[in-house]
Amino acid sequence: MATNENLPPNVIKQLAKELKNLDESPPEGIKVGVNDDDFSTIYADIEGPAGTPYENGVFRMKLVLSHDFPHSPPKGYFLTKIFHPNIATNGEICVNTLKKDWNPSLGLRHVLIVVRCLLIEPFPESALNEQAGKMLLENYEEYARHARLYTGIHAKPKPKFKSGAISESTTALNVDQTNTSVLNADQKSTTPGAALPLPCPSPLAPSTTSTRGNGKEQQAAIAPATDTGVSGSTVAAAAAAAAPTTQKKEGGLAKAHADKKKMDARKKSLKRL
């Protein structure tokens, strides 16, 4: 998070929103960067406009914000050497937007666009670099040659600021929805009433098999129903299937017992004879 002591918290918050917007939707030919520990210095890479002596060059500049910003304008400096009437040899920028035309309602986007427009249309009447201003008025071709020479030597393209990573403070304004969405998806998948996958059949589940013995089909229940978690209807069906077999066995035993009694009675009668 930014820890700037020169700017009040409300200004830092506003700047963070502006910087985030500039990072996500930069003006044409401008890319912004910032030290996330100090919002009072804003950096920008400006591409030289096509059709000017600054074409194919990338110029780094900075805006230094005062402690009472936005009531007072920032100061602008080019860090890349440039031959331009309105830019001093020390890099200081002279443009009315940063001086008498300043308005607290102007944002950083407006300031940066004005600075880039200055590369397209210089104002030699208010020159900080007198040599460049005089040359522009008297001999444009010579001025353009000097400007192109500086551009070729000092304004070689540099690695641009990384998109989407200006600072922790600006990205902190975006609530990361990724983890939240994943969590919500997990919660939805485990809500009551949600369809759950059916378990594999248990090897202990009751079942019936038919075997052939003595020409008759016999049914036998395998595994007790109490060892499973199946419903009562399944248990009842298994019991019903086993009931006829049990009744047949009991009837057969009673008949055999009666026949034995008859045989014993006949044997006794034969002995008497």
Q: Which residues are tagged catalytic?
A: 94
* Pair of tokens at residue 254: 């009673």
CB-CB contact of 107 with 20 (8 Å): no
81 dihedral zone (left: phi>0; alpha: psi -120 to 50; beta): beta
Distant-in-sequence contacts of 185-191, Cβ < 8 A, 24+ apart? none
CB-CB contact of 63 with 111 (8 Å): yes
Dump the DSSP string for 144-167: HHHHHHHHHHH----PPPPTT-S-
Residue 47 burial (CB count, 10 A) = 20
Judge residue 118's burial from the number of C-beta atoms within 10 Å of its C-beta, 0-12 exposed, 13-18 middle, 19 or more buried. buried
Type of residue numbered 183: L
CB-CB contact of 48 with 59 (8 Å): yes
**E strands within the chain?**
30-35, 38-47, 58-64, 75-78, 207-213, 216-222
